[in-house]
Chain A
Amino acid sequence: MVTLNDYLMVSGLLFTIGFAGVLLRRNIIIIFMALELMLNAANLSLVGFSRFNVQNGLPDYNAQVLVFFIITVAAAEVSVGLAVIVALYRARQTTHVEDITSLKF
C-alpha cells in the first residue's frame, strides 16, 4: 500500500537533489533545471496531499489549483530566466557562475 509518507519521501528526495544541484553545479542552465526540479518536488507533495485528503469522496482540489499556479509561474520564470541567460551569454560568452563577479567587493 502506497501511503502519503512515500510520496513525501520522494518529493523530499527530489527537492534535495534539486537543491544540491543549485548549490553544486556551475553551469547556470543546469542550476536552472535543478530549480525546476525543486518546483516539481513541491508539486508532487501537493498532489500527494490532494490525493490523501479525501472529503465526501472527493480529493482536495485546493492543492491541485495550487499546483497549476506553480506550473504557470514556473513557465513564466523559465521564459524570463532563459532570456536573461541568453542575454548574459551574448554579453559574456559564458554560462558559468564563477565568471559572473561584477558585483563582488
Chain B
Amino acid sequence: MNAAPWLILFAPLTAAVVITLFTLRSRQLSSYVAVTGVFVSFLAALAVFAGPDHAAGFNWIDVGIFQVPFGYVIDDYSKMLLLVVTGIGLLIQLYSLGYMADDAGQSRYFAALSLFMFSMLGIVLANNFVMMFIFWELVGVSSYLLIGHWFERPSAADAANKAFLVNRIGDFGFMLGILMVWSASGTLVFGDLAQKWPGLNLSPAYALAAALLVFCGAVGKSAQFPLHVWLPDAMEGPTPVSALIHAATMVAAGVYMLARVFFLFEGRWAALGVVLWIGLATSLLAALMATQQDDIKRILAYSTLSQLGLMVSALGLGVPHAALFHLFTHAFFKALLFLGAGSVIHSLHHEQDIWHMGGLQRRMPLTFWTFAAATLALVGCPPFAGFWSKDAIVATAFGRQPLAGLVISLVNFLTAFYMTRLFVVAFWGSPRSSSAEHAHESPAVMTTPLVMLAVPSVLIGLPFIAPVFVPSSEPEAPAILAVLVSLLVLAAGVALGWRFYRGAAKDPVHIPLFANRFYIDAFYGRLVRYTQDALSTIAGFTDRWIIDGGIVKGLSGATFWSGFALRFLQIGNLQAYAFLFGIGVVLLLYIILFAS
C-alpha cells in the first residue's frame, strides 16, 4: 500500500494535535509545526501527482449490508485538487506567519488552520460518501473555528455561527441525498456507484430527488443561491482564512463533490437544469451585489460567489472538466487577490473600506503588480489564467444553451466592471486617508507568497501548461464567437469601470438594491424571526395551556378538589363513622354472599 496519500492526509492532523497538546504556549513554535505539517503534505502531494492513479483502503464499518470503507482514491480530479489545496495552503500558512505575527491567538489559529487542511484533504481523498460527509462536516467545524477566530468581536462570532448554521441546512439535504443513494444502490463507494447507478431501475422522480439533495450539500458548502449568505459574512475571519476558504478549499469542496459524483447527474436533464440555473442565478446576483460593495474583502467575496456560480453552471451544462479547470485557475488568482487585499489591509492598519484607500501603486509596488495580475486573471484577460478557464465555460454555454451563454457573458461584463472599480479606487488616484498615505509594503514573508501565486495566476491556463494538471476534456470546437463576445464584454466592463471611477472621490453610482444585497439577508432575518415568533407562540401556548394548564394543573386540581370534597365526610361524629362502617360491612357481606 502506498503511504504517500495517508501522509498527505494525516500530516496536517498531526500538526494540529501537536499544537493543541504541546505547543499552545509558544506561538512561534506552533506556527512552525503547522507549516511543517502542510509542507510534508505538499511534498507527498507532489509525489502522488507524479505517481499513477490508484485507490486503496480498508473496511471501516461493516454492519450487515451496511459497509463503509475508509480509503482514498487517486485520479485526475483528486491529484489536481491535492496539489491546489496543499500548494495554496502552504503559501497561505507562510503568509500567515507575517499576517498573524502580532496576534495573541496565533497557536489556536495555526491549529485550526491545520485541522482545516486535514478536513479538506479528507474530502479530496475520500472514496465514499460517508467518509466525504464526515470530512465535509469537519470542514464546517474548522471553518467555524477560523471565521470566529476573533471571537471577542460579536460580528465575527455571529458570522461564524451563520456560516455553520447555513452550512448545516445544506448538509442536511446532503445527508438525505446520501441515504437515498444508499437505499437505492446499497453501496456508498464512488467507484461502485459510478458503475451501478446508470443501470439501476429508478423512477425519474427518485433519481432527481437524490441528485438534487446531494446538490443541496454543494449549495451550502459552495455558497450557491439561496444559501450564499454565509460567505460574505465569513469575511470577518482573518484575511488568510478568507483566502483559504474562498479560494482553494471550502467552497471548492462543493464543486469538487459534484464533479466526483457527476454520475448522479449524467444524462438527467432536469437535475442538470436545476444545477445550471442555480449556478447562473448565484453568479448573476453575486456579480450585481459586488458592484456596490465598499469593503475590499466583501467585493472579493461576492466575486468568489459569482465565480462559484460559473463553476456550478458549468457542471449544469454537463462539463465537469470545465468546472474543475475554472476551479483550478480560480484557486490561484482568488487566493492571490485575497492575500493581496490582506497585504493592503495589513499595511493600512485594518482599513477595509476601498474609499479610504487610493494611491497605493507607488507605496506597495509588489502588492500592486501581483494584485493587477490576479485582477486580469479574474476578469478573463488573455493570456492570463482566468481567460482560458472562463472561455471553456462560455464556449460550452453558447454551444449548448445560448441563453446561459448570454447570462455568463453578462456576469463577465459585471466582473470586469466591479474589478476595475475595486482596482482603480483602491490602488490608483490619490490617498483618501492618512493611513493610505502612510502605507508601506508588507514584509517579505507576505509578499513572497504573492509573487509565488502570481506566477501560476498568469501562466497556469496556457493551453500547453494546463493539461498537465487538469484532466483534459474533449476539446470543444474553437468558438471564435465566444472568444469575441468575451473580449468585447471585458473591454466594455473595463471601460465603463474606468469611466465611472477614475479619480472619483466617492461612489458616483448608488443602487441601494445591490448595496443591500437584494435584501436577501434582511429577508432571511425576517423569515427566521417570524417563524421563530410563530413557533415560540405555539410552543408557549402549548406549554402554558396544555402542559401547565391541562396536565400539571389538572392533576393537582383533581387531587385537591377530590380531597376537598372528601373532607366533608370527616364530620367528627364517632357514631356516624361506626354507622358508615356498619353499612360498609353489610354492603360487603351482601356483595360476597348474594351478588357474586
Quick check: is B571 within 8 A (CB to CB) of the other chain? yes
CA distance A100 to B567 in the complex (A): 18
- Which of A22, A97, A105 interacts with B567 by CB under 8 Å? A105
Are B575's CB and A104's CB within 8 A? no
Interchain CB contact under 8 A, B572 and A104: yes
Q: Which residues of A contact B573 (CB under 8 A)?
A: 97-98
Interchain CB contact under 8 A, A97 and B574:
yes
Residues of B within 8 A of A58 (CB): none
Interface assignment of B596: CB less than 8 Å from any CB of chain A: no
Residues facing B in A33-58 (CB within 8 A) are none
Instruction: Report B-chain residues with C-beta under 8 Å of the C-beta of A104.
Output: 570-572
Q: How many residues of A contact B (CB 8 A)?
A: 13
Bound form: Cα–Cα A19–B573 in Å: 16
Q: Which residue in chain A gives the minimum CB-CB distance to B572?
A: A104
CA distance A100 to B575 in the complex (A): 12
B562 to chain A, nearest CB (A): 14
Please judge, given known A-B contacts A97-B573, A97-B574, A101-B572, whether A23 and B567 are in contact too, CB under 8 Å: no
Shortest C-beta distance, A97 to chain B (Å), equals 5
Does B575 contact A24, Cβ atoms closer than 8 Å?
A: yes
Q: State which residues 80-105 of A face B: CB under 8 Å.
A: 97-98, 100-101, 103-105
Please indicate the chain B residues that have their CB under 8 angstroms from the CB of A100 in the complex: 572, 574
**Inter-chain CB contacts under 8 Å: number:** 27
Q: How far is the CB of B590 from chain A (nearest CB, A)?
A: 16
Q: Is the CB of B570 within 8 A of A22?
A: no
B530 interface residue, CB < 8 Å from A?
no
Whether B582 pairs with A23 at a CB distance below 8 angstroms is yes
Q: How far is the CA of A101 from the CA of B570 in the complex (A)?
A: 10
Chain A residues with CB below 8 A from B582, complex form: 19, 23
Is B104 close to A, CB under 8 A?
no
> Is B568's beta carbon under 8 Å from chain A?
yes
Are B575 and A105 in touch, CB under 8 angstroms?
A: no
Residue of A nearest to B574 (CB): A97
Q: Are A105 and B568 in contact (CB under 8 A)?
A: yes
Question: Is B578 an interface residue, CB under 8 A from the partner?
Answer: yes
CA distance A36 to B163 in the complex (A): 89
Contact B578 A22 (CB under 8 A): yes
**A24 / chain B contacts, CB cutoff of 8 Å:** 575
Give Cα distance in the complex from A101 to B571, angstroms: 8
Contact for A105 among B570, B578, B579, CB less than 8 A: B570
A98 to B575, CA, bound (A): 9
A97→B575 contact, CB < 8 A: yes
For B570, give its contact among A23, A26, A31, A103 (CB under 8 Å). A103
Contact B579 A23, beta carbon cutoff 8 Å = yes
**Inter-chain contacts of A23 with B (CB < 8 A):** 575, 578-579, 582
Task: Return A54 CB to nearest CB of chain B, in Å.
Answer: 27
A64 to chain B, nearest CB (A): 25
Q: Which residue of chain B lies nearest to A19 when distances are taken between CB atoms in the complex?
A: B582
Nearest CB in chain B to that of A102: its residue: B572
CA distance A15 to B572 in the complex (A): 25
B572 proximity list for chain A (CB < 8 A): 100-101, 103-105
Cβ of B411 to closest chain A Cβ, rounded Å: 86
Residues from chain B with a CB closer than 8 A to the CB of A22 are: 575, 578
Instruction: Give B564's nearest chain A residue, CB to CB.
Output: A105
- Nearest-neighbour CB distance to chain A for B563, whole angstroms, equals 11
* Seed contacts A24-B575, A104-B571; 7 additional CB < 8 Å A-B pairs: A26-B575, A97-B574, A97-B575, A98-B573, A100-B572, A105-B567, A105-B572
B-contacting residues of A (Cβ < 8 Å)?
Answer: 19, 22-24, 26, 31, 97-98, 100-101, 103-105
The 10 A-B residue pairs with the shortest CB-CB distance, nearest first, are A104-B572, A101-B572, A97-B574, A105-B567, A105-B570, A23-B575, A22-B578, A23-B579, A23-B578, A103-B572
